[in-house]
Amino acid sequence: MGDRQYIIIVGAGKVGWNLARELIEKGSEVTVIESNRERYLTVEQELEHNIQYGDASELWVLERAGISRADMVIAVTGDDEDNILICQVAKEKYLVDRTIARVNNPRNRQHFDLLGIKPVVSATDLILRLIEHEVPEYGLVHLLDLPEQRLEIIEMELPADSRAAGTRVGDLAMPEGSLLISVLRDDSGFVPNAETVLQAGDEILAVLDPRVEEDLTAYFGPDGNSNSG
Amino acid sequence: MFVLIVGAGRVGSSVARSMLSEGHEVSCLDEDPESHARLEIGLDQPWEDMGGHFTVGTALELDALTAAGIERADVFVASTDGDNTNIVISQLAKRRFNVPKVIARILDPYRAKWYAEQGLDTICPTRVAIDMLEQEIREAADRGAADRPQVGAVDHEDADV
């Protein structure tokens, strides 16, 4: 019992409720806090003592829920200001190790970043990312972004007229700060060596500094009206 | 000085009028266009004719804050009706826009106290009310229960006043 994770979830909307259900099933101790009386009464029929009624941006409500012993606080209300405040207070006042915040309006994401609230989850961003994956712009898809570490991993399909097609990996002049890590060809992937020759239609994975993304796209992109011999 | 007030409710609009009449440049941002009328209570000219600015927009939108002039604000007042909104936009004003003086109105005394300890300038009207009420009661207690007139008895002391 003592080493069970204790998780506080703020907001008993669809996300909060389902999350609570899953986490309880996985054996975590969970308290949900919901400020809407009617919603609370609905969810309480199922979650019973695992839900409390109150406004979690009031510190005493968080204290009543036992925030000082919480391993994680997840703020998934429909209000970005509330999610920011709850995570900020959880982290900085009650020294909760881990917080997760939901971003409702993607334009507010920068506020979460500025105030050090992370990680964040944004349904809109996730869907946008999926769209990008299905319909990639410039054939480039972000697989992993670590903005603070200035690293990202991207996937890019070499177009038919890619200037890199037919080039030995050993002869590639990729931008400084980028590295080719694998090639996907004919439904299988492999780690290339210096002798590998790139082909049009290859999907390449590269790790790079985001600042050279454009150079990399240009390098592997179509030859266009380049004058190079 | 350029004063930007976000949230032109009773408090915000009143402060806005005072500061304008004291010669400061004042800009108000509120999501409700109707709140413009509150700015003009008691004025005999339109708010704009007196030099005031008014922007309709949401406080968390950087475009709205920029349109309202946050980049040249000397003083930023967060007086919307949401404590959390005020707390968040005050931190934006401070950390992102480097406004020299940022004041947040926070109704909840506990949140106000903690954020004040973190370095935010906070005004807590609830705290002020609590302190005043307590003070009144203490003063009454100091005067003593002896002052209380007996029910039904003739109150000579009051008669003297």
Average pLDDT of every residue of chain A: 90
Interchain CB contacts (distance < 8 Å): A and B: 46
Q: ipTM of the assembly?
A: 0.83
Contact B114 A85 (CB under 8 A): no
Distance from CA of B148 to the nearest CA of A (A): 38
Band (pLDDT 50/70/90 cuts) for residue B145 is: low
> How near does any CA of chain A get to the CA of B17, in Å?
28
The band of A229, judged by pLDDT with boundaries at 50, 70 and 90, is very low
Measured between CA atoms, how close is B21 to chain A, in angstroms? 33
Strand A98-102 and strand A72-75: pairing?
parallel
Angle between helices B109-117 and B83-95 (to 10 degrees): 20
Residues of chain B contacting residue A105, judged by C-beta atoms under 8 Å apart: 60
Share above pLDDT 90 across residues of chain A, in percent, rounded to a whole number: 67
Q: Among B61, B91, B108, select the one facing A58 at the smallest CB separation.
A: B108
Over residues B24-45, the mean pLDDT reads 95
A140 band by pLDDT with thresholds 50, 70 and 90: confident
Please tell me which residue of chain A has the smallest CA distance to B117. A93
Four-point Cα dihedral A44, B83, A117, A76, nearest 10? 20
3-state secondary structure of B2: strand
Spatial distance between the Cα atoms of A226 and A206, rounded to a whole number of angstroms: 24
User: Which pLDDT score is estimated for B5?
Assistant: 98
- How far is the C-alpha of A12 from the C-alpha of A16, rounded, in Å? 5
Q: What are phi and psi of A27, to 5 degrees?
A: 100, 5
Angle among Cα B9, B15, B19 to the nearest 5 degrees reads 145
CA distance B26 to chain A (A): 25
* pLDDT band at B111; cut points 50, 70, 90: very high
Helix axis angle, B109-117 to A80-92, nearest 10°: 60
Q: How confident is the model at residue A228 (pLDDT cuts 50, 70, 90)?
A: very low
pLDDT digits (tens, 9 = 90+) for B120-138: 999 999 999 999 999 999 9
Say yes or no for a CB contact (<8 Å) between A111 and B92: yes
pLDDT greater than 50 at residue A125: yes
pLDDT at B16 over 90: yes
Q: Which of A85, A92, A108 sits opposite B60 (nearest CB)?
A: A108
Nearest CB to B85; choose among A60, A81, A110: A81
Helix, strand, coil percentages, rounded to 5, for chain B: 45, 15, 35
Contacts of B118 in chain A (CB under 8 A): 92
CA A196 to chain B, closest CA, distance in angstroms equals 48
The angle at the Cα of A69, spanning A64 to A73, to the nearest 5 degrees, equals 80
Is residue A226 pLDDT above 80, yes or no? no
Q: Which residue has the tokens 């010669």?
A: B23
B85 neighbourhood in chain A, CB within 8 Å:
81
Q: What is the percentage of chain B residues whose pLDDT exceeds 90?
A: 86
Distances (CA, A) of B40 to A99, A216, B13: 44, 57, 8
pLDDT confidence tier of residue B143, bands split at 50, 70 and 90:
confident
Which residues from A are below 8 Å from B60, CB to CB?
80-81, 105, 108, 111
Separation between Cα atoms, residue B32 and residue B151, nearest integer Å? 52
Mean local confidence (pLDDT), B19-32? 97
Q: How far apart are CA A148 and CA A38, in angstroms?
A: 41
**Mean pLDDT, to the nearest integer, of A5-34?**
96
Contacting A with CB below 8 Å, chain B residues are 60-62, 82-85, 87-88, 91-92, 95-96, 108, 110-111, 114, 118
**Candidates A81, A93, A105; nearest CB to B84:** A81
Cis peptide before A192 (omega within 30 of 0): no
For A73-123, what is each residue's pLDDT tens digit?
999 999 999 999 999 999 999 999 999 999 999 999 999 999 999 889 988
CA atoms of A205 and A184, how far apart (whole Å): 8
Instruction: Place A1 in a pLDDT band, splitting at 50, 70 and 90.
Output: very low
Asked if A198 contacts A158 with a C-beta cutoff of 8 angstroms, the reply is yes
Confidence of residue A223 (pLDDT cuts 50, 70, 90): confident
B53-80 pLDDT tens trace: 999 999 999 999 999 999 999 999 999 9
Residue A130 has pLDDT above 90, yes or no: no
Q: Quick check: A95 contacting B, CB < 8 Å? A: no
pLDDT digits (tens, 9 = 90+) for A157-191: 888 888 899 999 999 999 999 999 999 998 889 99
Q: Give yes or no for residue A221 having a pLDDT over 80.
A: yes
As given in the structure block, the two tokens for residue B58 are 């949401």
Buried b (16+ CB within 10 A) or exposed e, B123-157: bbeebeeeeeeeeeeeeeeeeeeeeeeeeeeeeee
Cα separation, A154 vs B49, whole angstroms: 55
Q: Do residues B53 and B26 make contact, with C-beta atoms less than 8 angstroms apart?
A: yes
**A121 interfacial to chain B (CB closer than 8 Å):** no
